[in-house]
Amino acid sequence: MKELLAALMIWIGANSSLPVPDAVPNVVQVDSVRLACLLEYIEPCDETKLDKTQKWFAYYRPPFARDAGLIVVSDHVDLDTMEGHSVLLHELVHHMQIAAKQTYDIECQAYGLEQQWLHERGSSLQEAFDMDEMYAMIVVMCYEP
Residue 61 scores a pLDDT above 70: no
The total number of structural domains in the chain stands at 1
Query: So what's the pLDDT on residue 133?
Result: 78
Taking every pair of C-alpha atoms in the chain, what is the biggest distance, in angstroms?
43
| Domain harbouring 47, CATH code | 3.40.390
Query: So what's the pLDDT on residue 82?
Result: 95
Start-to-end Cα distance in the chain: 27
Render pLDDT for 62-109 as a digit per residue (tens, 0 to 9).
Answer: 655 456 688 888 888 899 999 999 999 999 999 999 889 988 888 889
Strand arrangement, sheet containing 70-74: 26-30, 70-74, 58-61
What amino acid occupies position 62?
A: P
Q: What is the mean pLDDT of residues 16-32?
A: 90
Structural domain boundaries, residue 128: 2-141
pTM: 0.83
Query: So what's the pLDDT on residue 60?
Result: 75
Question: Under a CB-based contact definition with an 8 Å cutoff, are residues 89 and 113 in contact?
Answer: yes
Rounded to the nearest 10 degrees, what angle do helices 106-120 and 82-99 cross at? 140
What amino acid occupies position 26?
A: N
Query: So what's the pLDDT on residue 55?
Result: 60
